Structure formats: C-alpha cells, structure tokens
Amino acid sequence: MAKTLVSQGNIRKIVIRQSSALTTDYIASNLFNVQGANQLQLLVSFTLGASTGCRLKIEFSEDEINWYQESAYDLTEYTYAKHKALYRGIESSCNIVISVPISATFFRISSAALTSGSGTSLSIIATISNI
C-alpha cells in the first residue's frame, strides 16, 4: 500500500515504489487517486547495476478498469502525426524528475529492467499538485 509522506497545501508526496530490485517483467504500482490535480512529478532514483537500463510506463484511468498509456508522436509529414505508446527509458544510474501534466482521476506506473543483472534498483516518489 502507498504511503503518503507529506500533505502541504495542495501538494501531496506519495511513495510509489520503495528502492528495490527490478525484474524484466513489467510490474504495475498500486493505483493512485489524483483527482483535482493537474501536475505530477516523479522523483526517480535508478541504480544501473549489471542491467542495461529500465523502462517506465505511465498510465491514466477514469474508472480504474480502462487504462490509457502516455503517448508520443512522430511528425512524419506536415499534416500527419503518428502516435505510439510512450515508454520512458533510463540507461544509467541517476536521480531525475519526470514532470507530467494530468487531467485524469487515477494513475499508475509500471517498471521493468531492460536486461537482468544484479545490483539494479529503482525507487519512485510522486509529487502531485494543482498549480
């Protein structure tokens, strides 16, 4: 179960994933209610270890049943944008912030190592607010 760290004004900080080893299978976090918020920042700490990296999949839902993954597009022509599911990749040890505007009620994050290897770990804290 997620643990709320701090609630200050309209800012909530929630532990999404405590620092732990990754597998090559996607593991989804618990879902989190973000209704009324419009900004999500993920504080991500990744240790590469013997793996080649990891991927994050951020999804949103209105009903806790149907999930919609973030997308990105390639502009192949002036009038044609080709959308693809967005996977956020990390290929070196780092502490990063991922900022995502939101308008959904629920979100979750799935994570997986690109290749297996010892010493690989990931932790994620979410900061949710309305700015």
Indicate the SS3 state at residue 37.
Answer: coil
Phi, psi angles (nearest 5°) of residue 76: -85, -25
pLDDT for 50-101, tens place per residue? 999 999 999 999 999 999 999 988 777 677 788 899 999 999 999 999 999 9
Rg over CA atoms, the chain:
15
**And the tokens for 9?**
């004004």
The Cα 41–Cα 54 span in angstroms is 18
The Cα 107–Cα 49 span in angstroms is 28
pLDDT at 75: 77
Q: Which residue has the higher pLDDT, 65 or 9?
A: 65
**And the tokens for 25?**
């299978």
pLDDT at 67: 96
Strand-pairing partners, residue 73, are 83
Considering the chain, what percentage of its residues have pLDDT values greater than 70?
92
pLDDT for 25-34, tens place per residue? 999 999 999 9
Q: What is the pTM of this model?
A: 0.86
The Cα 70–Cα 16 span in angstroms is 18
Tell me if the domain spanning 3-129 has CATH number 2.60.120.680.
yes
Compute the CA torsion angle 62, 44, 97, 48 (nearest 10 deg): -130
With a cut of 70, say whether residue 5 has pLDDT above it: no
The Cα 32–Cα 41 span in angstroms is 13
